Structure 1
Amino acid sequence: MSDRPEFIHLHNHSEYSLLDGITRFTDHDGNPSEILKHLARAGARGLAITDHGNLYGAIEFYSQCNAVGLKPILGCEMYLAKGSRTDRAGSQKENCHLTVLAMNNQGYQNLLSLSSRAFLEGFYYDPRIDKELLARHAKGLIVLSGCLKSEISQLILSGNLKAATDLAVHYRDLLDPDCFYLEIMDHGLEKQRQVLQGLLEIHKRTQIPLVATNDCHYPEPSDWDAHDARICISTGRQIEDANRLRFESHEFYLKTAEEMAKIFHFAPEALSNTLKIGEMCRVAIDMKQLYLPRYEVPEGRTQDSYLEELCRQGLERLGRAGDSRYRERLDYELSVIRRMGFSGYFLIVWDFIRYAKSQAIPVGPGRGSGAGALVSYSLDITTIDPIQHNLLFERFLNPDRRSMPDLDIDFSDEGRERVIEYVRK
């Protein structure tokens, strides 16, 4: 049995922490990045992604980790409003941070809901959630108390250890058993060490477990300068400016297990708990399955049969039903669409195009490769005859290459939001 320490990084920012993180998970050729390959070679059990307020990189991260045999742990460093997420008062500095991980598929769905609602309902400087929203979507989540900007850390720094303890107990009771952890960090910053002492005291009083993280923003120590330049870009400042935002510590990188074990030698359970959490997190996404909204068809019909029915009605309306070229082309396109499972997609597009035209919202005639589909023409999605103009269906949907169809549709500025709202409902 090896005595080498083991550790999983559970708090990491990628390039999708916009204008902040610089870690990439995909190289310029579309393959897993060197940092992922390095972690896999080093025997790391897993890695988490916790970008600021979003899940933009989650699927890319999930795919590339799996490609190198590294367990992906999906998460987000959420912005938490001190009051209600709908409040529009105060400053950006009042938003707190909270590290949230998906433990299972239910947790992943809740994480998606939190992120979406943060943007749609809580956006004020940042996409924000609040405690009420977290309570509604708590199932399947693991929550870490967060960095220096967390509410618990701020309460400790203000000298209010009782309130910090009460808040920690609130989170513990809100979540599933063993799903809340006190997050300890040490980048050599004095405030962090003050918070660490407070968290150790809360742990002593409540037995809420500790977990060590490093709030990584870049892969290697040598990347500090590049990250500093990224901060300058985000704040509109020059590198040589004296009074500007900068990370005073050079320790926000993906440290080795040995480095983390040395820092947190006094709390071995905080290291082993990263492995425990890594084992608990078991999100499984079928990357071969297309997840599309289910279009409800009339009783007695399937999506395939209803699409065919509408298309043949369209050929009748266009006066092309008697032309064998159109019938044969339609049969071929429908067979490809059925085989690839995209009938529902065309029905959804047909439905909102029909709505737009019924509301006198101007719709473009067709743009891009989608105009090459007779199915689109027969459904009145496009108004360009692909046979008359010798347009290729395969440029739009290739039966030998499984990828989503992409219909480019133009709506007038005045009616676009109404169409989007119709699709949402």
Structure 2
Amino acid sequence: MTAFFALVRKDLMLYLNDKRALMMHLLLPVVLAAFFGSLFGGSGGEERGRIDIALVQEDSSAAARKIADGLKGDSTLHVVDLPLAEAQAKVKGGKLAVAVVIPAGFGEAAGAALFSAATKPELPLFYDPSQSAVLAMVKGILTQHVMQVVSSEMFNGDAGRQLTEDSLKKMPQTPETLPLRELLASLNKFQDSRAALPKAEAPEQKGGLAMPFSTRDEALSAGPKYNGYAHAFAGMSVQFILFMGVDIGIGILLARRAGIWNRLLAAPVTLTTLLLARCVSAAIIACGLLAAIFLCAMLIFKVAITTAAGFAGVAACFALMTAGFGLLIAAWGKTPEAARGIAVFVTLIMVMLGGAWVPSFMFPGWMQSLTLAVPTRWAVDGFDAVTWRGLGLHGALAPMAALLAFAVAFTGLAIWKMRRDQWR
């Protein structure tokens, strides 16, 4: 065992003396996690970004002006008044997501089409094709404001009276239209009675049709308040510690090429002892990096670890899996150069499918099932479970078991391959 611990100590000292590798494995995940975490919503205390849209106002009617005021007052939108050509140019250049055009005569035409079969006026919308999801949001907000303003204009004021009278004149006298004609006639009488009142006695005009409900949004999780940085730190930690595992495997191949491996095997140690020592040292380094990265997450970005035991278990199992992955690269790599290219490619695929970049719940259903065979999926889910999800130790047990199984499989396969190839 003295030789085993000496080998572990040697690997740790060599890694700590490599300042460039240490900074890459520690600093880069923190920087990238901070960036991605801000995209995922941050810690929840920051003001959410608003959608930048252009408004091209070509209609000067009262209804059009009210629609424009409603859009500008919406907390979800940041509206900029622009002429048509400039608005289209900014959308083409990707500087604005959507441009809304209120064409001339829209207010009057929309009111006339509310109760009649008249041709419905169009609201041109120009959008960036990469922002189709944003377009749907803008259309929903626009629909709400247009309906409220147009219905208000129909039920109140001189413009509404005129539109009602015009609709009654143009509507065909058929049995099918009788109920609607009676409704409009009653509305016309109501408008006349309001118009006959002195201004001092006239009731204040109210808004038109509005959404008949409101939502009460309540985020549910067993843990603390959702923090977008938690998932980002989990994903970036998994990615860069896997890259550290790649460096471990390439380092073994370089040592073998330089003859250092043969000299180590000339000592009174077996190949299995040498490989297990390298595995343990790599796991210790990975655990240290995880602790340092998440310490930054806790101190700077307010990420909460809800169960220390669960975090330690997931971190240890993932560290062992990473070490086994490094040994597997060394066992199956023919040369350091060839092994590095293949290993980096495999690592990026594992990171992508594991949900380190984009949460796995955004994947299609079939892909979510497929990624259960990828160890990084279990690692990211495990870190999520012990941070923002707050599932406790029981939520970390399944990821720990899966990662440990991958670690045993990778390490065992690597040792078998090296013994079969009679590594010297």
Determine if the TM-score, normalized by the shorter chain, exceeds 0.5. Answer: no
Which has the larger share of strand?
1
Q: TM-score range by the shorter chain?
A: under 0.3
Relative to the length of structure 1, the TM-score reads 0.22
Which has the larger share of helix?
2
Choose between structure 1 and 2 for higher RCO, CA contacts under 8 A separated by at least 6 residues.
2
Relative to the length of structure 2, the TM-score reads 0.22
